[in-house]
Amino acid sequence: MAGKKIYDFNTYLRNIFGCRVQKITIDANLTCPNRDGTKGYGGCIYCNKRGSGTGLGKKLSVSQQIEQAKSYLKKRYKAKKFLAYFQSYSNTYGPIEKLKKLYMEALSIEDIVGICIGTRPDCVEDEVLDYLKEVSKKYLVWLEYGLQSAHNKTLEIINRGHSVEDFLDAVNRTRQRGLNICVHVILGLPYETRDEMLETAKFLSKLDIQGIKIHLLYIIKDTPLEKMYIQGKYKPLTREEYVDIVSHFISYLPDSVVIQRITGDPHKNELVAPMWALEKQKNINAIFDFMEKNGLYQGKFFKSKG
């Protein structure tokens, strides 16, 4: 193998806008069909009550969250433009008029050039996609679908509440409208082997997707996964195992796929295990070193016209 060229999200955005563009994470105080009883209760086994978000949605409006973050991100990253990232819970799940109001509240703010919408593949209606197609004529739009694994047996174990077939349907309908798709996957899910994790990479390599986020499964407090860990029913990946698997996972993806994330980013006060997950930069460096050493890697970035 000649080596994988990695197209990172910052480079992708700079190619489009000609400047540093930074995501602003938003909690829109929505919910999830796997929590409100439509599909189930309690959510996925690794997710806490905040839905992997900030919890700010109960205190601050979308506009307030954006304005609060902008000044900090301008100073830290010299960012000039921003994307509104609806992260917590399922952000296409709700009445269409409510969703439109939330999206447009974000897009109406100065220097917001697009939106990224985190959601589930089983709760994105055609009317939402039709609306976002219109939005994409003026703004950058990404749909971020949580697949997590290409194996239905794993999705059942983690109480995901949707199937691989639901994901394929969402991808098809989303791409019919020309919208960008970023897929979320998790490595180290209970009882999955290394080969099964890499089968997810091979599965995605054949699909019309534009980006990917790869997460390490880490254990956080007050989740069913924590109970499994305490009872000895789950053991997280070691750093060495994760570096090996994620490196080979990336190598299967087409060079055109934008790599938006290659590891998790846990909250220190919530993390139970593995503690090495907190060493984000060390983990990233280890991945690039492994890929280079094993001929999987040609350099951190490659340039594209976007």
Instruction: State the DSSP string of 130-165.
Output: HHHHHHTTTSEEEEEEEEE-S-HHHHHHTT----HH
Domains within the chain, CATH numbers bracketed: 7-293 (3.20.20.70)
| The predicted structure's pLDDT at residue 303 | 38
**135 confidence band (pLDDT: 50, 70, 90):** very high
Residue-wise pLDDT for 185-242, tens only, equals: 999 999 999 999 999 999 999 999 999 999 999 999 999 999 999 999 999 999 999 9
How would residue 140 be classed by pLDDT, with cut points 50, 70 and 90? Answer: very high
pLDDT in tens, 87-102: 988 999 999 999 999 9
* pLDDT average, residue stretch 45-49: 86
Residue 10 pLDDT greater than 50, yes or no = yes
What number is the average pLDDT over the span 106-111? Answer: 97
